[in-house]
Structure 1
């Protein structure tokens, strides 16, 4: 006589948390307007920890600095 088959436990894999690659535009506040894609072959400053969010933050900071420079120049012309 054979034994009863034991039911196998289902193996569940946890989903790995992913960082967003699509962001809201800082200028017009449109959702999903800015997409970051890293072209590794063109990137001369390659690091293993570079993520799309890092690229977006660097771009956003550069835009903020540029806006501050433009505002400072406009303020000097008014005086």
Structure 2
């Protein structure tokens, strides 16, 4: 008599993990892909810097810090700084043709 063949359940295919962005849009000059984040775990410093307008932001880093975290903190700090600032209405500076008056 022969052995029965074991019916082994097939494992589910592994899902591909999408990589997070490492280049971001600058909050000051609005150039897409101009902000690059660097993380120095040896000195516990993370920095996001725009290579077009040379603006930068640095913060403390730890083992779980990712580039998207650094960029998110920078955006949050920009929003905090602009919290009480009112912008003039756009219509007062431009005429009907959209040209600067």
With structure 2 as the length reference, what TM-score do the two structures score?
0.47
1:16 shift after superposition: 4.5
Contact 2:40 2:61 in 1 (8 A): no
Q: CA RMSD in A?
A: 2.5
For structure 1, the 5+ residue unaligned runs are 1-13, 73-79
- For 1:48 and 1:39, the matched residues in 2 are separated by 10
| Residue 19 of structure 1: aligned partner | 20
Q: Find the residue that maps to 1:55 and give its secondary structure.
A: helix
Query: Deviations for 1:22-75, whole angstroms, at most 9, x for unmatched residues?
Result: 101122221111111101112175433210000110111011111225x17xxx
Residue equivalent to 2:80:
65
Which whole-Å CA distance do the structure 1 matches of 2:43 and 2:26 have between them? Answer: 24
TM-score between both structures, scaled by the size of structure 1: 0.58
Structure 2 unpaired stretches of 5+: 1-14, 46-59, 87-101
Higher strand share: 2
User: Does 2:51 align with 1:50?
Assistant: no
Q: How many angstroms apart in 2 are the aligned matches of 1:46 and 1:25?
A: 21
Answer 1 or 2: which has greater helix percent.
1
> Would you say how many aligned residue pairs link Structure 1 and Structure 2?
59
1:68 counterpart SS class: coil
